């Protein structure tokens, strides 16, 4: 029986031959619902059972060990998951995507870039708790307290680790890992104090009077062949050139125009201000004034090749329509170019012509599909045309033209587009213009191929018959 206030249970056995066995079952529980009790792990308990009899009291105690395991919840796991964790390199803190880092190699305690590391568990709801190991082949990585070529860092939540230059120029490979995750390697570039080579090229074939933001592009390399991302300056070669565009470089005043480094494109872009129609020559250097070049505090002066730019003040006299190819496959992407031309038939500087085309814009009887719109009619009806200053192999832009991207019909035939010059043109230019391209008919092409093959086979059969008859004649003469 169970005595009140006593957790023990006493069982009485019968005397003599009437003795019988008594079986008891006990259940053991561990509370794991409250925060302080649900620490994951394996718990071991020892059970002690002491038999008792009414006559002799307590017998020999019996012991047994049992274990209870509390599994960790996915949301509270401290193990990092590759699927939910991330590492990004950038020039700014808090990055959410990779950005190229290119910086001066001179040793500095100011970070040149950052590596944003976020470690999350598989449930993606909680920060993991793992050390972060970062190594680099050039420069240093880490924090203000712990930095070097290879460091092990503490992680307490999404954090930005620093990238430092240490005087070594070159391209470095950065690896980031934890005990559970290894991220894709990153790259950082440290360039020398001065460039070794500068190569300039004209990006805008026709400059306008006024500002031209991307007139000349410069590829700069240091002695290691690393892209040099420091500041470059463009200037007119002589006073006669400066009368058309830009300015000459003065001895002490900074009249040269600073160029802009584009990490994404791996070149410097130089702006030129046009002043009058004509051709002007320019050079690019790493010093803004002649005095600074002479002092050469940041290495020897390096000057690019000389380039000639054209300032074009001509206005539109006619308009031209053009496809980028003469022949297309069914449904193939095509580009239509609208180009204003001057009185000599040449392209002009970038411009906006409010009514380059007459009302209705470009028309066509074929089923063209316009990229980014629902119908061709809605897309080609524009009459105001703004041209592009530069060409691009990526977008299909062409300097001096405006482009439309369309998709050709799926059936073969000739595609013709037409338009009429608008009131932005003189009366002589307000005439109809057209352009045509051919869409190959795949069915017709296949049929033509089959017919050609049949003709070839027929010719071969005729040849075989002729040869057979000739052999028979020869055999008859031999027998005779």
Q: What is the pLDDT of residue 182?
A: 97
Q: Across the chain, what does the average pLDDT equal?
A: 89
- Cβ–Cβ under 8 Å, residues 219 and 266: yes
Give the model's pLDDT for residue 431: 97
206: its two tokens: 């026709």
Decide whether 86-191 matches 318-440 in CATH topology. Answer: yes
pLDDT in tens, 182-198: 999 999 999 999 999 99
Mean pLDDT of 321-336: 96
Mean pLDDT computed over 216-220: 98
At 445, the pLDDT band (50, 70, 90 cuts) reads low
Q: What residue spans define the domains of the chain? A: 16-71, 86-191, 204-311, 318-440, 449-480
Q: What does the pLDDT look like over 11-37, one tens digit per residue?
A: 555 555 555 556 666 666 666 665 555
Highest-pLDDT range among 46-50, 87-91, 125-129: 87-91
Average pLDDT over residues 107-131: 92
Top CATH class of 86-191 equals mainly beta
Say what percent of the chain tops pLDDT 90. Answer: 68
Q: Mean pLDDT, to the nearest integer, of 387-412?
A: 94
Residue 371's pLDDT band (cuts 50, 70, 90): confident
For the stretch 280-317, pLDDT in tens is 999 999 999 999 999 999 999 999 999 999 999 999 99
- Residue 3, pLDDT > 50, answer no
Q: What value does the mean pLDDT take over residues 240-244?
A: 97
Residue 84 confidence (pLDDT) above 80: yes
Q: How many CB atoms lie within 10 A of CB 195?
A: 28
Name which of 25-39, 109-123, 413-427 the model is least confident about: 25-39
Considering the domain delimited by 318-440, tell me its CATH architecture.
Sandwich (2.60)
Q: What is the pLDDT of residue 2?
A: 42
Report the pLDDT value the prediction gives residue 26, as an integer from 0 to 100.
65
Higher per-residue confidence, 42 vs 112: 112
Dump pLDDT digits (tens) for 195-210: 999 999 999 999 999 9
Q: Which two tokens stand for residue 467?
A: 């040869």
Indicate if the pLDDT at residue 469 is higher than 60. Answer: yes
**H, E, C per residue of the chain:** CECCCCCCECCCCCCHHHCCCCCCCCCCCCCCCCCCCCCCEEEEEEEEECCEECCCEECCCEEEEEEEEECCCHHHCCCCCCCCCEEEEECCCCCCCCCCEEEECCCCCCCCEEEEEECECCCCCCECCCCEEEEECCCEEECCCCEECEEEECCCCCEEEEEECCCCCEEEEEEEECCCCECCCEEEEEECCCCCEEEEEECCCCECEEEEEEEEEEEEECCCCCECCCCCEEEECCHHHHCCECCECCCCCCCCEECEEECCCCEEEEEEEECCCEEEEEEEECCCCHHHHHHCCCCCCCECCCEEEEECCCCCCEEEEEECCCEECCCCEEEEEEEEECCCCCECCCCEECCCECCCCCEECCCCEECCCCCHHHHHCCCCEECECCCCCCCCCCECCEEEEEECCCCCEEEEEEEEECCCCCHHHCCEEEEEEEECCHHHHHHHHHHHHHHHHHHHHHHHHHHHHHHHHHHHHHHC
What pTM does this model have? 0.72
CATH 2.60.40 is the classification of domain 204-311: yes
* Mean pLDDT value across residues 129-156: 96
């Amino acid at each position: 029986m169970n005595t009140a206030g006593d957790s023990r249970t006493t069982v009485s056995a019968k005397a003599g031959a009437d003795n019988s066995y008594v079986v008891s079952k006990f259940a053991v529980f561990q509370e794991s619902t409250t925060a302080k009790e649900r620490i994951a792990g394996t718990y071991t308990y020892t059970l002690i059972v002491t038999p008792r009899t009414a006559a002799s009291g307590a017998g020999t105690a019996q012991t047994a060990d049992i274990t209870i395991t509390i599994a960790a919840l996915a949301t509270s796991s401290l193990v990092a998951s590759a699927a939910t964790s991330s590492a990004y390199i950038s020039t700014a803190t808090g990055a959410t995507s990779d950005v190229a880092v290119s910086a001066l190699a001179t040793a500095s305690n100011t970070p040149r870039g950052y590596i944003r590391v976020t470690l999350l568990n598989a449930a993606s709801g909680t920060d993991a708790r793992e050390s972060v190991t970062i190594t680099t082949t050039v420069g240093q990585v880490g924090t203000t307290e712990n930095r070097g070529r290879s460091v092990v860092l503490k992680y307490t939540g999404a954090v930005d680790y620093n990238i430092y230059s240490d005087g070594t120029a070159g391209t470095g490979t950065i690896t980031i890992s934890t005990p559970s995750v290894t991220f894709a390697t990153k790259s950082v570039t440290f360039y020398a104090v001065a460039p070794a080579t500068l190569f300039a090229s004209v990006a805008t074939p026709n400059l306008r009077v006024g500002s031209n933001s991307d007139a000349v592009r410069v590829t700069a390399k240091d002695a290691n062949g690393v892209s040099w991302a420091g500041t470059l300056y463009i200037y007119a070669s002589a006073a006669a050139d400066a009368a058309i565009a830009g300015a000459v470089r003065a001895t002490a005043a900074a009249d040269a125009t600073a160029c802009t480094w584009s990490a994404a494109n791996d070149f410097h872009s130089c702006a030129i201000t046009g002043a009058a129609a004509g051709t002007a020559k320019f050079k690019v250097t790493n010093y803004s004034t002649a005095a600074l070049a002479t002092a050469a505090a940041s290495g020897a002066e390096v000057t690019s090749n000389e380039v000639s730019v054209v300032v074009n003040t001509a206005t539109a006299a006619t308009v031209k329509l053009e496809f980028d190819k003469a022949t297309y496959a069914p449904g193939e992407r095509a580009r239509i170019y609208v180009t204003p031309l001057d009185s000599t038939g040449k392209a002009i500087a970038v411009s906006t012509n409010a009514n380059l085309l007459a009302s209705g814009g470009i028309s066509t009887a074929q089923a063209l599909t316009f990229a980014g719109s629902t119908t061709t009619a809605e897309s080609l009806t524009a009459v105001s045309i703004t041209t592009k200053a530069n060409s691009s192999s990526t977008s299909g832009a062409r300097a001096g033209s405006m482009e439309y991207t369309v998709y050709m019909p799926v059936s073969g035939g000739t595609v013709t587009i037409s338009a009429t010059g608008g009131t932005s043109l003189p009366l002589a230019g307000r005439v109809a213009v057209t352009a045509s391209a051919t869409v190959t008919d795949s069915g017709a092409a296949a049929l033509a191929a089959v017919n050609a093959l049949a003709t070839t086979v027929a010719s071969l059969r005729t040849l075989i018959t002729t040869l057979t008859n000739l052999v028979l004649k020869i055999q008859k003469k031999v027998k005779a």
